[in-house]
Structure 1
Amino acid sequence: MKRLLTIICLVLLPLLALAQQNSTDNTAPAEKDSVVVSLLTCTPGNLVYELYGHTAIRVREVGARQSDWVFNYGTFSFNQPHFMWRFMLGETDYELGVVPYYLFYESYVREGRGIDEQVLNLTPAEAKKLVDALSKNLEPENATYRYNFFYDNCVTRALRVIEQSVDGQVVWPKADANKSLRDMVHEFSEPSPWNKFGQDLLLGAEADQPADINKQQFAPMYAERFVNDATIKGTDGKVRHLAAPSRTLLPEQPVLAEKNFPVTPMWAFGILLALTIAISAADIGRKKYHWQYDVLLFVAQGLTGCIITFLLLFSSHPAVGSNWLALLFNPVPLVLFPWFMKAAANGCRSWVMYIQIAMVVMALIVGIAGLQHFPNEVYIIASILLVRVATHFCMTSKIKQQKVS
């Protein structure tokens, strides 16, 4: 709290004094102090939470008084109590922070990330209203908010406070009507295949619906484009651009990217499918059933299912509550594999495999019917499970025939 109060004193007092001067001295010459507000858009980074870029608001005093600050709705700390648990539940708290512009700039220089600026086309009264709103949001009781990846993040917060400050209405351009949130996730997570695969496992059918412009604004790079084309329709009926065209403050620099896992998910599961087919062929050829391999698959399937089912039932993360992949990945295999082990060890056909077939087939129907987009790796995993089901039926049948004879 002391840190925030200090920041408020350092930042807001000169800005509020300036705003008061503007409101009481409408005849002041243009060369006197004024406030310039702009939207900053930062290019993506290498870390998971940097893949989509970042957005912040820059507030400058120009003229006799000189100050330059960046208001950032994307501040969070890993040191928050129970951070990982709250993150899984979708209860992560972010807060509005403020830093001098030069520190903000230098941090992106070190990371090799670029910064674009769009100077907002605001009247002095609108700039004052925006500064007042940022000041209010910076107060300790208002600074923290419940973060939501798609619907309430650093971008949407910045755009909403800008919208609420204009004298009139912001008219946004049309968005791509055929683009979904999953399409956008794929676009930005493409450089990180395992992150892309993990997000695909967790996002449900909600992410496959066409996203309107309000939803597409969650992505900083999209928001920058929308701001470039947006206009303000004033209460007097006049129309003006929301912002000046983007200009680059810091060009993106090539840096040594973090090394991804050398094998992509597609290759990893493709190799696993080939290994599964080889093991099954060896089982049938040598007439020796390695049912322990099936147990490993059950455990992996069930553990993955625990994560997906937990998020489905308890998390407030956006778009995870409609995940049809829970048909395939759920805790059932983890619960039932002991019964499978008992039957398979005695050379008997297990009823657990019928449940496995049902889960795989239902998931495939959902995917093929287009009720939800499944990553291609899921179809490979389904093939692995079906190969082992067929092997189980084949081997248990043969074992029974041998015992009878």
Structure 2
Amino acid sequence: MGVTLLSAVRPAQAYNTPWGKGLSRPEDLVISLATFSPGDQIPQWFGHTALVVEDRRYNTARLYNYGMFSFGDGMLMNFAMGRLLFWVAPAPVAPTYQFYIAEDRDVRVIELNLPPEARAEVAAFLADNVRPENRQYLYHHYDDNCATRVRDIIDKAVGGQFKEAFSHDDALTLRGHTRRHSQHLKPMDWLLMFLMNNEIDRPIAVWDAMFLPEVLEEAVLDFEYVDAEGNTQPLVLRTHQVFKSSRAPTPEAPATHWPFWLGVGVLLGALSALLGWRAQRHPERRGPRVAFGLYLGAFAGLFGLVGTGLFVMAAMTDHTVTYWNLNLLLANPLTLLGAFVALRVAFGSEGSRRGLRLIWRALASLAILGLLVQLVGLIWPAIFQNMLLPLALLLPWVLGSAAGVELACKPTERTQSEA
């Protein structure tokens, strides 16, 4: 579903195809599925797919790309608000393949074994779908993307048998499939898992997993359907590997990263507690207090910004995958407030110490509540959200930081009360 910025054919050529003008004979048409393996950029991590229509009598071919979008017309704001418009466009086949080859990405083509009438219907639909009045659609990463659009076209071509054949449960959730493609970059993998709620933790069918081009390709390779005469036909007529990438293939299952993040969280939390202890031991010295406040402010600012971003997305955008996200118990706008107050304490604001303790007591309570909700979700699937990676990092950090705040701020309060 990798987003592509490839140029489409010129508008004058977009509809100037034999099948677009009704000139193609069904028996001369070839419909193929093109699959492109993942690339380096984040939108390319999930791969890409397209349909190719060829008329062998007219020696004409077009690749129909459902991954088109524009950086203009408020694209960034629309993306932030969850209202990103994509569209389908025809593109020349050979230059498109060369684009992916230059990026060292697999180019694999499957010629579909469809009856002539179905080939003609698919070609006519695509020719009509690229018209300006028809081409746009509201993109959704899991429910409506380049792969699901192609999947639905194939399903219609075989009378709905494709969906029926893959209605059984998939071994992974949407979260698991996402992590297969994001796990190679741990920070981004963690961030994606933090931002998404339990919508991606529900059981899914293999059909739903076809939001991934490679899952769609595997399903096509395995599929047989019953034709109009009652005969069983393989959907694949022939395959062709146009280019083989030197990249490692996508893992079949997500990696176990929580021990890594737990180690990082324990380290960050322990260091916070240690710095708070040093500030307590040396209340007369400015250095330990500043070190603790700056350290706490830096990480609370980082995680607070992430949590506040999630809060804004959940409250104000159409990104439904962020709604009612339990990870807000671990990092939220209160975390960001805790960062500002920590910096005030670092630079000598005695009056902010009590407020800092109250904030971090609240944050620690919320984090513990997050752990409890996760445990309850294990026995009550309706509320389950896989919080493992966020919990592994943030729970020990929050608890360690709260302990550090108690240590660093308590002496001054005692001294003030005695005075």
Aligned to 2:317: 315
Give unmatched runs, 5+ long, in structure 1: 23-32, 256-263
> Quick one: distance in 2 between partners of 1:196 and 1:226?
26
Contact 1:70 1:98 in 2 (8 A): yes
Contact 1:283 1:289 in 2 (8 A): yes
Contact 1:228 1:243 in 2 (8 A): yes
Closer, same or farther: CA 227–322 of 1 in aligned 2, 3 Å: farther
Residue 386 (1) aligns with residue 399 (2) = yes
Cα RMSD after superposing both structures:
2.9
Aligned to 1:260: none
Residue 276 (1) aligns with residue 272 (2) = yes
Contact 2:273 2:403 in 1 (8 A): no
1:285 is matched with which residue: 281, 285, 299? 281
2:359 is matched with which residue: 352, 355, 364? 352
Shift of 1:271: 5.5
Contact 2:173 2:202 in 1 (8 A): yes
Shift of 1:296: 3.9
SS at match of 1:179: coil
Aligned to 1:261: none
> Quick one: distance in 2 between partners of 1:269 and 1:319?
25
Aligned to 2:255: none
| 1:333-359 residue CA offsets vs partner (Å, 9 max, x unmatched) | 445766775796248533323322222
2:37 is matched with which residue: 35, 39, 43? 43
Identity %: 20
1:1-400 pair list within 5 angstroms: 5-12=11-18, 16-19=22-25, 22=26, 34-62=28-56, 64-78=57-71, 80-167=72-159, 169-170=161-162, 171-173=164-166, 177-244=170-237, 246-254=239-247, 272-273=268-269, 275-287=271-283, 289-290=289-290, 292-293=293-294, 294-335=296-337, 341=344, 345-346=350-351, 348-350=353-355, 351-369=358-376, 370=378, 371-376=384-389, 378-400=391-413
Aligned to 1:259: none
Contact 2:194 2:389 in 1 (8 A): no
Shift of 1:3: 7.1
Contact 1:337 1:352 in 2 (8 A): no
Closer, same or farther: CA 214–252 of 1 in aligned 2, 3 Å: same
Contact 2:174 2:200 in 1 (8 A): yes
SS at match of 2:144: coil
| TM-score, length basis structure 1 | 0.84
SS at match of 1:38: strand
> Quick one: distance in 2 between partners of 1:298 and 1:276?
11
Contact 2:280 2:411 in 1 (8 A): no
> Quick one: distance in 2 between partners of 1:362 and 1:193?
26
Give unmatched runs, 5+ long, in structure 2: 1-7, 249-259, 379-383
| 1:269-295 residue CA offsets vs partner (Å, 9 max, x unmatched) | 565445424423422333464463344
Shift of 1:211: 1.6
Shift of 1:318: 4.8
> Quick one: distance in 2 between partners of 1:104 and 1:304?
37
SS at match of 1:292: helix
SS at match of 1:10: coil
Contact 1:168 1:233 in 2 (8 A): no
| TM-score, length basis structure 2 | 0.81
Closer, same or farther: CA 339–266 of 1 in aligned 2, 3 Å: closer
Count of aligned residue pairs for this structure pair:
382
Closer, same or farther: CA 338–237 of 1 in aligned 2, 3 Å: same
